[in-house]
Amino acid sequence: MPIASLDEIRALVGTDIGTSQWIMVDQTRITAFADSTDDHQFIHVDPAAAAQTPFGGTIAHGFLSLSLLSRMAADVMLAPDTLRMAVNYGLDRVRFITPVRSGKRVRGQFTLDSIEKKTPHQLLTRHTVTVEIEGEIKPALTAIWLGMIFV
């Protein structure tokens, strides 16, 4: 996670702070997610059956795509130089727009919407995130991601 001063981070409110590296979403990752969540719906884990659907093959779970935000954020979300800890606070307006087909790559584009002081040592951040699919016009998902930063 890139490091910056709180003043530098506040100066970026309202701007695009960056785009993550591409992440491969292959069948191994999809199957591992299915195993860890006990969601083995055939559209995720059965290539032959999924090939008969409009998707033409297996697709990632929407929650798998969403869970990759943490990895994407490591590339671009700025951490204050006084950071002690950061935790997820929640998500607003999550929309799954386009399924991520097995074998596709995704990346996250982040905009810092706001930083709100909650206590002298807690800051609530709000980022708008769009997860793009390589070679696709429409994104996989959009979300407003809330984080609590302890400084």
Kindly report, residue by residue over 96-115, the tens digit of the pLDDT. Answer: 999 999 999 999 999 999 99
Within a domain: 110: yes
Provide the 3-class DSSP secondary structure of residue 36.
helix
Round to whole Å and give the CA distance between 8 and 93: 27
Within a domain: 94: yes
Contacts of 38 (CB under 8 A, 6+ apart): none
Within a domain: 93: yes
36-51 pLDDT tens trace = 999 999 999 999 999 9
Within a domain: 55: no
Round to whole Å and give the CA distance between 40 and 62: 13
Whether the pLDDT of residue 144 is over 80: the answer is yes
CATH number of the domain residue 11 falls in: 3.10.129.10
Q: How many domains does the structure of the chain reveal?
A: 1
Residue 59, H or E segment: none
Sign of CA dihedral 115, 118, 120, 125: negative
Are 133 and 48 spatial neighbours (Cβ–Cβ below 8 Å)? no
Q: pTM for the full model?
A: 0.94
Residue 82's pLDDT is: 93
Within a domain: 50: no
Containing domain of residue 8, as a range? 3-25+61-150
> Would you state the structure tokens that stand for residue 40, as one six-digit string?
């083995």
